[in-house]
Copies of this chain bind each other. A is one copy, B any other.
């Protein structure tokens, strides 16, 4: 490799390429850190052909980032997990910074962060985090991994699983689709909001919610992306 390529390395971390970082992030997201990831699912997340994934996971396994058994999916090694979390930290700090410091709307931070995360040095990310007061979550409520590689992996309840009558505080919206985010924003279903399930139509029908003095109705597909911390004032989970 040339001197120019050497120079393009990002200081403060291993010189993983952007595609490699994307693979690791995807595998982490699928396995939530622990479980195995299927070739097809990786391919779908990254919008690649399954054949391309087969080739790449072999190389990542050779580099010690993945444990790979042919025909049986992959798992992150400890080293792979650390790399994935470093990228995830960069992504989420950048998202938080764009929203806080530069006034980005929450539906557009993801796309920008998706590119910057590969180019930003750890120093930049740390300065961003310090400037906005060491945030613990990104604008969608996703937890930001710490520098030493730990993350809050609490599994929250989806709004689609909250029983009628139960209340909860929205902690996270687990989707980056700008349209969906804008719509939720209009309904003011945002991290921190308190919400009560008023009713639920049968056959996976619309869910009626109360939030403050507002009342609204959303479909289960949307609700499934809204994660809440249930409040212990009434019922528990749905059956």
Which stretch, A57-65, A109-117, A162-170, A219-227, touches the partner chain B?
A109-117
Chain A interface residue count, Cβ-Cβ cutoff 8 angstroms: 34
Binary contact track A157-188/B, C-beta < 8 Å → 1, others 0:
00000000000000000000000000000000
Chain B contacts of A131 at CB under 8 A? Answer: 101-102
Cα-based distance from A2 to B49 in the complex (angstroms): 8
Task: Check: A30 CB closer than 8 A to any chain B CB.
Answer: no
Chain A interface mostly helix, strand, loop or mixed? helix
Chain copies in the assembly? Answer: 2
A23 to chain B, nearest CB (A): 11
* A100 shortest CB reach to chain B, Å: 12
Q: Please judge, given known A-B contacts A101-B101, A116-B120, A118-B119, whether A4 and B46 are in contact too, CB under 8 Å.
A: yes
Tell whether A127 pairs with B115 under 8 Å between CB atoms, given A4-B47, A47-B2. Answer: no
Residue of B18, B22, B52, B102 touching A124 (CB-CB under 8 A): B102
CB pair A7–B116 under 8 Å, yes or no, is: no
A125 smallest CB distance to B (angstroms): 11
Instruction: Name A109-147 residues within 8 Å CB distance of B.
Output: 111-112, 114-116, 118-121, 123-124, 127-128, 131
Q: Which of A14-56 contact B (CB under 8 A)?
A: 18, 22, 46-49, 52
Which residues does chain B contribute within 8 Å of A120, judged by CB atoms?
112, 115-116
A56-104 CB contacts (< 8 Å) to partner B: 98, 101-104
